Each structure stands twice: as structure tokens, then as C-alpha cells.
């Protein structure tokens, strides 16, 4: 089944403790992206990747890192999480970076930083 898989689905952590949210897609998609979703703010793009070893900042990259060492995986790294990073996070992938190709979303990771 074609899908984007995020782990974990839920995470509670403490301020400053490094964490990684994994994202994997099995569709051989070139383009992958991370978003955060907060009430009343829609989805805001954190980072995106046009292909392996190619990453770039979205609108809200501060406090996050990503890597794209292989096509299927695009982990999101929070080196020193803070409470304002409490949010619902989504990973998405699409066949190409072109906006007319469908983006498939993972089921989300709800992160709480205390």
C-alpha cells in the first residue's frame, strides 16, 4: 500500500531533550516536506526536499533540522525542543516538486514539549 509513515504518532518530551520524528515513503517520490499545524494557523511549511541531499527552508524553519540521505526517508530533528514547538506535525511526499502532483500526507505526530 502506498503510504507515508511517521513515527511516533504521539510524543511528550521535556525542554532541551533532542528528538527525531521519522518520515518514510514507499512511493519513490522525489519531493518531501514537513509541516506543522497549529489551531487557526493552517499548515506552515518547515523544510522541504526536492531530492536526495537537496533540502531547503520553508516558512518556519527555526529550531528544526532535516536530512535527506536517501530517497525514502526525511527525518525531522529538534536539537533542543522548546514549548513553542508543541504542535501537530505532518510529513508529506509527492512524485515531483511540481505543484500539480498529488501530495500524500502521513497521519501526523502530536508533539508536546513541557
Partner 1 sequence: TQLLEQSPQFLSIQEGENLTVYCNSSSVFSSLQWYRQEPGEGPVLLVTVVTGGEVKKLKRLTFQFGDARKDSSLHITAAQPGDTGLYLCAGRNTNAGKSTFGDGTTLTVKP
Q: Is 106 in the site for partner 1 (CB under 8 A)?
A: yes
Among 50, 52, 77, 95, binds partner 1 (CB under 8 A): 50
Strands 19-25 and 31-37: unpaired
Contact 86, 64 (CB under 8 A): no
Q: Is 100 in the site for partner 1 (CB under 8 A)?
A: yes
Contacting range for partner 1; rule: CB under 8 A; set: 12-20, 32-40, 61-69, 78-86: 32-40
Select 14 or 41, whichever has its Cβ closest to partner 1: 41
Q: Is 62 in the site for partner 1 (CB under 8 A)?
A: no
Taking the CA atoms of residue 55, residue 61, residue 62 and residue 66 in that order, the dihedral angle to the nearest 10 degrees is -40
Does residue 84 sit in helix, strand or coil? helix
Amino acid at each position: 500500500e502506498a503510504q507515508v509513515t511517521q513515527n511516533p504518532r504521539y510524543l511528550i518530551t521535556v525542554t532541551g531533550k533532542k528528538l527525531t520524528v521519522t518520515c518514510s515513503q514507499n512511493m519513490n517520490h522525489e519531493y518531501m516536506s514537513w509541516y506543522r499545524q497549529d489551531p487557526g494557523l493552517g499548515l506552515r511549511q518547515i523544510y522541504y526536499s526536492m531530492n536526495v541531499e537537496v533540502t531547503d527552508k520553508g516558512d518556519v524553519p527555526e529550531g528544526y533540522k532535516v536530512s535527506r540521505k536517501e530517497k525514502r526517508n526525511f527525518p525531522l530533528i529538534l536539537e533542543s525542543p522548546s514549548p513553542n514547538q508543541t504542535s501537530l506535525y505532518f510529513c508529506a511526499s509527492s512524485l515531483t516538486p511540481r505543484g500539480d502532483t498529488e501530495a500524500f500526507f502521513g497521519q501526523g505526530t502530536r508533539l508536546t514539549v513541557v
